[in-house]
Amino acid sequence: MTDLVGRTLGQYKILAEIGHGGMADVYRAIQTSIGREVAIKVMPAHFLQDRTFLERFTREVRVIAQLQHPRILPVYDFGEQDGMPYIVMAYMTGGTLADRIEESPGGLPLDAAAWYVGQIAEALDFAHSKGIIHRDFKPSNVLLDEANNVLLADFGIAKVTEATAQLTGSGIVGTPAYMAPEMARPGGVTPLVDVYALGVTLYQMLTGRIPFLAATPMGVLMAHAVEPIPDARQRRPDLSDSVQAIIERGMAKDPMDRYPTAGELAADLNLTAPSAAPAARRYKPLAHEPGPEDGVPQEVVALVRQGKKIEAVRALRAAKQLGLREAKDIVDEIERRHPAPATRPYKLSCLQVAVLVAAFILIIPTWLAVECLLGTHMCPPVQTLWSGEVSPPAPVVTSGAGDTFWPHLVMALVVFVVLIVGALLIGGQLGRGPAPSPRPASPARQQGRTFLAIAIGVVVTLLCCITVVVLVIVTNAGAFGP
């Protein structure tokens, strides 16, 4: 393409070339009428060999210009001069995400990656809601301002150039390193191709390199289609399993297995990373408990208290139309004030120990008292103490109708099993405390629950003693005559 530095396109004087690509060159220019610095993307003249190009170019640029969003680079103007179509956009001084990745060959910190992905997702989801697919998302299309905020550029440019590139034989439209496998099939272009490219970019941000390499563009496309997704933890051992799972779902080869939106990918990533938002841009913490009076739906608060932060963020964004970062900050504040109840490991509670001790202590005197009342020959020393008379030891009956040894033994085992199981179940249930409720119980209510637990323990012990009496009477009923 001809060097345009120093020339004028319409009311724009070109100052310097700031980017070069197969589909366009980008220049820094100044709008002479108002003295505003702008960026101009100039398409190659051979695109005009396609007679329908200018019509499609005008139609698509007008659609793109309607994308008014804080995370999308605004389009100011467009036109054609000397056979060169061009688009005029805002000029960003902070470089691109590709520059940030190049400056960190070992990978960006996880919180920084989450910060960029969150803002990129806002732009992609907004464009998708308007029926616009980027088609060529990559780090060099992610521009940054001086405050490190994201502005996504080049929406729809790939669609404008696709038919012309095929007609002129100028090559593949898009960047193979970020292209989803289904883009090689008819009808494969859906918003999920942008989600796939975001997953590739996330891998690149965290590792400093793209996931698939090959000698030719076609080889890269084949790798995306058939090669397994590489493990980012091999290059970044500090990354968690959750981060790798997010990358794998974002880069799933089957579109149905991918995140349905870029925002859901960003929400999961933000839950694995510490907050990366600059202090000036963080959501102001609420001065009191979040609730319906603050416009926060009660179901969101309930989800946070149940430990379901991802679902809470999604519900809050859907209800209030908030950005991902704002919604996450509100959920974090709710969680700070009302953390989800932690699950405690199972162990013997005080009530369990009390019931067991009482059962073992009371079962012995209860057993002896029943033996004395029945006058059974099983306990001569007790008979002596009860009657005050010394009697010779009763013979042990080993067979016949008077044999009560085995019934007594079975009865004792049954009672002991009932006591132990009952104590563990009832004591364990009460020892774990009440189920979590939307609001904590008052001290008086907690004290009442403690007394109830003690009362139940006493009742269980008494029932066990009564069970001993009944079983002993039943097992001895056939051993004594009238």
Q: For residue 239, what are the contacts with CB-CB under 8 A and spacing of at least 6?
A: 110, 206, 232, 233
Which phi and psi angles does 435 have, rounded to 5°?
-65, 145
Cα pseudo-dihedral 303, 306, 307, 313, rounded to 10: 0
**Do residues 110 and 246 touch, judged by C-beta distance below 8 A?**
no
DSSP letters, 330-365, are HHHHHHHHSPPPPPPPP---HHHHHHHHHHHHHHHH
SS3 390: coil
Q: Select from 57, 63, 59 the least CA-distant residue to 42.
A: 57
| Angle (deg, nearest 10), helices 192-207 and 241-250 | 140
**Do residues 285 and 333 touch, judged by C-beta distance below 8 A?**
yes
| Distance, CA of 90 to CA of 119 (rounded, Å) | 18
Catalytic residues: 136
